[in-house]
Amino acid sequence: MDQGRPFQYDEQRLVCDGVDIAGLADSFGTPLYVYSAKQISERAGLFQNAFAGTPHTVCYAVKANSSLAILKMLAAQGCGFDIVSGGELARVLKAGGPEVASRVVFSGVGKIAGEMDAALAADILQFNVESEPELELLASRAAALGKKARIALRVNPDVSAETHPYISTGLSAHKFGIGIQLARAVYARAAQFPSIETTGVSVHIGSQIRQVEPFAEALEKTLNLVRELRADGHNIRNVDAGGGLGIEYGDKSFDAAQQVQKYAAALQSALGDMDVHLLLEPGRFLVGQAGALVTRVLYRKANGDKKFTIVDAAMNDLIRPALYQAHHEIVPVVRDEAVATEEADIVGPVCESGDFFARSRALQQTEQGDLIAILDAGAYGLSLSSNYNTRVRPAEVLIEDGKARLIRRRETYDELFAPEIF
């Protein structure tokens, strides 16, 4: 692991910002999510510093990791938020207070009336509208509440991003946004609603994109549209460039600061001297490498030549390997160079063949009761988790200033059963 990561070895024991991981597992149990507050804050700072010369707001993509403690920390650092549901709106208001609403953008293709009403009442910065029927509903809800909804249309620039097909969003074949060639007509229609104010244009082409060129291409197309819209009389002030800047899972040489600088340079070159307020929506980049899932070995077994290491975490705790065929580096919590390496599948106890974290992975041979850590798990870990097989979700611990703080306790069965009627 490189020196820029929070998870390192200290005398063969894995630590997070100096805090012993094995001790955390003993104190809080496993499976356990552990996060570095320091790295999350530093990653947000990379964006804020790289764009310091450009009017901008960093709107953290809440879906990546919606922990209230993390949201509160980012709000205190001046970040805004990109939300995709009424529940995420409630989360950011709970974490940051009503004043944070002025830094909230509401994205998503399926907003419902109640969610719109809550966002209008909170007076959020902007709705990123993704279809004409949504525009009509928002206009009617704003009129009924005596409010004015500030909107951007999310345009689809038909730009290809080299990423997993499930997280690519910028092509005409995807469900997201409005075709950029149709946008001027939809803006003209939006301007006819007294309850709508057209304030921005939004674009987002996907997630886990590791080259900066697609971002620049999408922004250039978006800025050409902004020029046309301003000529049509629309007071376009905000350009939402979306998020999606990727990380390198398991790449020890990954330089986050350099990647953000490249990203900023590409967007700023596209912007030129154009007078707009830039909205940025990083998610995974801020939290992905700040987190790890710590799990304990339950059993070892072999089916012929095939070896399995069965751990107490499962696909309901971290579904990325099953859903996206995602690679996560997996390391022993206590390293012993005298112990041989073996190749095994790292699997969980859920009754699905897809319940695995790695296939045929070379790892220090483990014994029952040993701890291993699944790294780079801070994004789309707990936020995508479930209670499948009636499993309680993991606890979460945040490392701040060299101390561990429990930010989410492990669920209980009574809490799982509470909504049910029988």
At residue 25, the pLDDT reads 98
- The architecture in CATH of the region 7-36+289-417 reads Beta Barrel (2.40)
Q: Is 380 annotated as a binding residue?
A: yes
Q: Cβ-count burial of 21 within 10 angstroms (0-12 exposed, 13-18 middle, 19+ buried)? A: buried
Task: Indicate the DSSP class of residue 418.
Answer: T
Active-site annotation holds for 16: no
CA distances from 214 to 51, 167, 199, 247 (A): 18, 14, 24, 16
Which amino acid does the sequence have at 54? T
Q: Is 244 annotated as a binding residue?
A: yes
Say which residues have a Cβ less than 8 Å from residue 189's Cβ, sequence separation at least 6: 132, 135
Q: Are strands 238-240 and 277-280 parallel, antiparallel or unpaired?
A: parallel
CA distance 229 to 156: 16
Options 16, 59, 79, 351, the catalytic residue: 351
Residue with tokens 């780079």: 376
Q: Which CATH class is domain 107-282?
A: alpha beta
What element of type H or E holds 279? strand 277-280
- Identify the residue with better confidence: 130 or 253: 130
Question: 243-266: per-residue pLDDT in tens?
Answer: 999 998 876 678 999 999 999 999
pTM metric for this prediction = 0.94
Contact 105, 91 (CB under 8 A): no
Per-residue pLDDT at 168 exceeds 50: no
pLDDT average, residue stretch 151-165: 74
pLDDT average, residue stretch 173-201: 90
Question: 369-414: per-residue pLDDT in tens?
Answer: 999 999 999 999 999 999 999 999 999 999 999 999 999 999 999 9
Helices 113-122 & 86-96, crossing angle to 10 degrees?
Answer: 20
Q: Are strands 13-16 and 7-10 parallel, antiparallel or unpaired?
A: antiparallel
Q: Cβ-count burial of 336 within 10 angstroms (0-12 exposed, 13-18 middle, 19+ buried)? A: exposed
Which amino acid does the sequence have at 29? G
- Residue boundaries of the structural domains of the chain: 7-36+289-417, 107-282
Q: Are strands 13-16 and 19-20 parallel, antiparallel or unpaired?
A: antiparallel
Residue with tokens 């490189």: 2
At residue 166, the pLDDT reads 42
Looking from the CA of 163 toward its CB, the CA atoms found within 13 Å total: 24
At residue 160, the pLDDT reads 58
Q: Is 283 annotated as a binding residue?
A: yes
Beta-sheet strand order (sheet of 13-16): 7-10, 13-16, 19-20
Question: 85-125: per-residue pLDDT in tens?
Answer: 999 999 999 999 999 999 999 999 999 999 999 999 999 99
Q: Is 263 annotated as a binding residue?
A: no
Report how far Cα 282 is from the mean position of its chain's Cα atoms. Answer: 7
Lowest mean pLDDT, pick from 215-219, 248-252, 280-284: 248-252
| Helix segments in 163-212, DSSP class H | 183-190
Q: Is 284 annotated as a binding residue?
A: yes
At residue 164, the pLDDT reads 41
